[in-house]
Structure 1
Amino acid sequence: MSAMVDTPAAQPLPRRTEGSSARIGALAPLSSPGWVEAGRHLLAGLESGVLDVNDAGGVLGRPLELVVRDTAADPQRAAAAVEELAGLGVAAVAGEYHSVVARAAAAKADALGLPFLCSSAVLDALTDRPTDWVARLAPAQSHGWRIYAEFLLGAGHRRIAVAAQPSVYWESGTRILREHLAPRCGTVIELDMGALTPEDVCDALADHGATALLLLTGIPEPAVSLVRSVRADRRLAGVLVGAPAGQPEFGPWAALLGEDGAGIPFLRYLPERLGPLGARVGSALRERLGRAPSFVAFEGYDTITVLADVLSAGELSRERIPASWAGVAVEGTRGPIRFSRVPGVGVRQWAWAPVQVVDRDPAALDRFRVLRTG
């Protein structure tokens, strides 16, 4: 992967006075139609990371400060927020969960010469061109979804249906699944949720003989109605319902679906066992959130760990951060973090965060079963 091409020079930061904070812009979906629960967990992780950095003395003696903006899953709103944050003099921008929104934020950050560390979005093409201004912690979609495809094959599923809404992210996921399954005699049947009801989907599953249905949709709807309809249809008793994007990760899923929400495999980015740092941070996040933290909360914490490192290396200078990504070597909550260039990914990438396929245990909905690791 080549280096950044035709990227404008970074805007200089306002002169700092002694004791002033190092400000980091934080993007998260904190209102509808964004995935609000994911946004809450991401922000909790970012805030916990800032608290720990500041308790340890800050960055080069200066405290970190978050400047939070709600993207509400709106790409235009995210791009406007990045421009506003650049004008406010933040040293970098961090966060975001939704891939299409993160892509808009990354494009604006690249255009402005503002460093952006993407916490959670996985779309491979986070930017249209290679850039050094952007780095990412979450695994690329092609990496995680191939592991999910291997899980399906290992469980004996070769006739897969996807119930999908229109989205670059869902279209990319469908393509990854099809390309990985086809050489192994697997097929992917696309069901358009813009035209079909949950009852129509059940009929299509029965007609095509699909053994697995993947929910490439938003929550709560139509995902919740799809699960209820499939679970209630006797013709589909043996059909696996899956959600590779991680919809069942968060508490509202179990609250809405109860037992129907169990046994639905999804991707999450955690090791099978947390180390001492991960365990300590996990306890703090549980206290902050009032419930078990998701992998998204750990992504938020790791984001601050990395930014504290690159800000220290670059002496709090925007201009120096792009050169600092390659030198990152920090211990994150989920393992050692380093960035590299990955073919097909135009940004600096942690390759890779640990990947699991898990589901909620039917015997205890608040417990997760690890079905595959990668």
Structure 2
Amino acid sequence: MNASAPPPGTDRTAASAVRIGALVPLSRPGWVEAGRHVLAGLELAVGDVDRAGGIDGRPLELLVRDTAADPRRAVAAVDELARLGVAALAGEYHSVVARAAATRADELGVPFLCSSAVLDDLTDEPTDWVARLPPPQSHGWQVYADFLLAAGHHRIAVATEPSVYWASGTRVLQERFAARGGSVTALDARALTPAALCDELVDHRVTALLLLVGHPEPAVPVVRSVRRDRRLAGTLIGAPAGQPEFLSWLTLLGDDGAGIPFLRYLPERLAPLGVRVEAALRERLGQTPSFVAFEGYDTIAVLADLLRAHGTDRERLAASWQDAAVEGTRGRIRFSRPPGAGVWQSDRTPLQVVDRDPAQPARFRVLHTG
């Protein structure tokens, strides 16, 4: 790849600004609430960078594009942003969309720091053009499986929909459970009504159901159906992908949405920067910020640090991931290439299994750390 300089025809109306392209789901069928949180973090960090003097006196400009959870739309956005001369790309929440964006960024030679997507294989081949902040899905979901096994759940079911992301998560769980003498039954949430799904859970004598499905549909009606089925009293509902993190979950489900463990990428205590950023995000969002808002902020913090040190040349920027040593909202951020990893990976990302407290659903309980 040799797309380190803006190609002919680049829009230079804002030549004095350093441009970063932001990919976020801001319309359906994308998870709009998650997109808003990622964007809030990105925008807050851009403002902080500019107040601190920008990039060698040049302001940061965020060019935001709505992916709407559509891989083709994301690819088109990457093409457009590359033509507009962005120094790098940031963001995206949905793993399948991030994979399409990462593949295209690699083809065009545009550095891409993925804020939130966890799918292990973000690109088909190893690349220096792509890095990401959250841990790969295989690590996070293995930790989640270990949490369930330690709690005595050896026969579980997953309600799933067709998706590379959900299929990958199912494989991680099945392999982890099989290695410890457990079992995972996959149930098609599109083919089964919530009531029929409950019948399957009874027939398979499982002790836990994991929601590997979209929110609010079909996750919300499935939760309601399981909660109201007396045969399934005591059955644990889990959501490793993090649906209960967001306020809409509590709004739609109320008490039924409590006691559902999910993965969250936050430390036990935020770093000093994180405490300040949390307050600013809370004001901006009008609610408690989710971990993806912190991921958005940290994405810009990393890119700004590398831009100051290495300039806006795309090729030099893509060669500098290993040089990052940034104080983020959740601790120090560095990148490495673990064996078999196709992209640069943030080290030591904090990981928790959390749920909403049944006694006070607006409050989170940390159940396990990994």
Same fold judged by TM-score > 0.5?
yes
Aligned to 1:9, which of 2, 5, 22? Answer: 2
The 8 Å contact of residues 26 and 35 in structure 2, kept in 1 or not, is answered as yes
- For 2:251 and 2:69, locate their aligned partners in 1 and report how far apart those are by CA, in whole Å: 23
The 8 Å contact of residues 11 and 112 in structure 1, kept in 2 or not, is answered as no
- For 2:14 and 2:185, locate their aligned partners in 1 and report how far apart those are by CA, in whole Å: 61
The 8 Å contact of residues 30 and 70 in structure 1, kept in 2 or not, is answered as yes
Aligned to 1:330, which of 308, 326, 345? Answer: 326
Please say which of residues 149-158 and 316-325 is displaced more in the overlay: 316-325
| 2:13 paired with 1:20 | no
Indicate the RMSD between aligned Cα atoms, in angstroms: 1.3
The 8 Å contact of residues 22 and 91 in structure 1, kept in 2 or not, is answered as yes
Aligned pairs (5 A) from 1:353-372: 353-372=349-368
The 8 Å contact of residues 11 and 85 in structure 2, kept in 1 or not, is answered as no
Structure 1's unaligned 5+ residue stretches are 1-7
Aligned pairs (5 A) from 1:221-236: 221-236=217-232
Aligned to 1:123: 119
Q: Which amino acid aligns with 2:69?
A: A
Q: Could you report, residue by residue, the CA deviation over 1:44-67 in whole angstroms, capped at 9, with x for unpaired residues?
A: 000000010001000111110100
- For 1:83 and 1:43, locate their aligned partners in 2 and report how far apart those are by CA, in whole Å: 20
Q: Could you report, residue by residue, the CA deviation over 1:262-317 in whole angstroms, capped at 9, with x for unpaired residues?
A: 00000010001112111000000001000110000000000000000111122121
The 8 Å contact of residues 271 and 328 in structure 2, kept in 1 or not, is answered as no
TM-score (norm 2): 0.97
Q: Which amino acid aligns with 2:33?
A: E
Aligned pairs (5 A) from 1:192-231: 192-231=188-227
Aligned to 1:170: 166
Q: Which amino acid aligns with 2:186?
A: E
SS in 2 for 1:280: helix
Q: Could you report, residue by residue, the CA deviation over 1:222-251 in whole angstroms, capped at 9, with x for unpaired residues?
A: 000100000000000010000000000000
Q: Which amino acid aligns with 1:12?
A: A
SS in 2 for 1:65: strand
Aligned to 1:48, which of 22, 44, 49? Answer: 44
Aligned to 1:347, which of 343, 347, 355? Answer: 343
Aligned to 1:253, which of 246, 249, 273? Answer: 249
Please say which of residues 13-22 and 126-135 is displaced more in the overlay: 13-22
The 8 Å contact of residues 163 and 215 in structure 1, kept in 2 or not, is answered as yes
Aligned to 1:4: none
Aligned to 2:57: 61
SS in 1 for 2:131: strand
SS in 2 for 1:292: coil
- For 1:107 and 1:230, locate their aligned partners in 2 and report how far apart those are by CA, in whole Å: 39
The 8 Å contact of residues 91 and 113 in structure 2, kept in 1 or not, is answered as yes
| 2:287 paired with 1:294 | no
Percent pairwise identity: 72
Q: Could you report, residue by residue, the CA deviation over 1:178-200 in whole angstroms, capped at 9, with x for unpaired residues?
A: 11111111100010112111111
- For 1:304 and 1:224, locate their aligned partners in 2 and report how far apart those are by CA, in whole Å: 33
Aligned to 2:239: 243
SS in 1 for 2:320: helix
TM-score (norm 1): 0.96
Please say which of residues 174-183 and 120-129 is displaced more in the overlay: 174-183
Aligned to 1:270: 266
Q: Which amino acid aligns with 2:5?
A: P
Alpha carbons of structure 1 residues 222 and 136: separation in structure 2 relative to 1, 3 Å: same
Aligned to 2:72, which of 76, 100, 104? Answer: 76
- For 2:299 and 2:114, locate their aligned partners in 1 and report how far apart those are by CA, in whole Å: 8
- For 2:142 and 2:57, locate their aligned partners in 1 and report how far apart those are by CA, in whole Å: 43
Aligned to 1:3: none
Q: Which amino acid aligns with 1:9?
A: N
The 8 Å contact of residues 302 and 333 in structure 1, kept in 2 or not, is answered as yes
- For 2:283 and 2:221, locate their aligned partners in 1 and report how far apart those are by CA, in whole Å: 32
Measured after TM superposition, the shift of residue 343 of structure 1 is 2.6
Alpha carbons of structure 1 residues 168 and 15: separation in structure 2 relative to 1, 3 Å: closer
Aligned to 1:317: 313
Q: Which amino acid aligns with 2:71?
A: P
Aligned to 1:108, which of 104, 110, 117? Answer: 104
SS in 2 for 1:279: helix
Q: Which amino acid aligns with 2:123?
A: T
SS in 2 for 1:33: coil
Aligned to 1:5: none
SS in 2 for 1:166: coil
Q: Could you report, residue by residue, the CA deviation over 1:333-364 in whole angstroms, capped at 9, with x for unpaired residues?
A: 01110000023320000023100000001111
SS in 2 for 1:160: strand
Aligned to 2:299, which of 303, 316, 321? Answer: 303
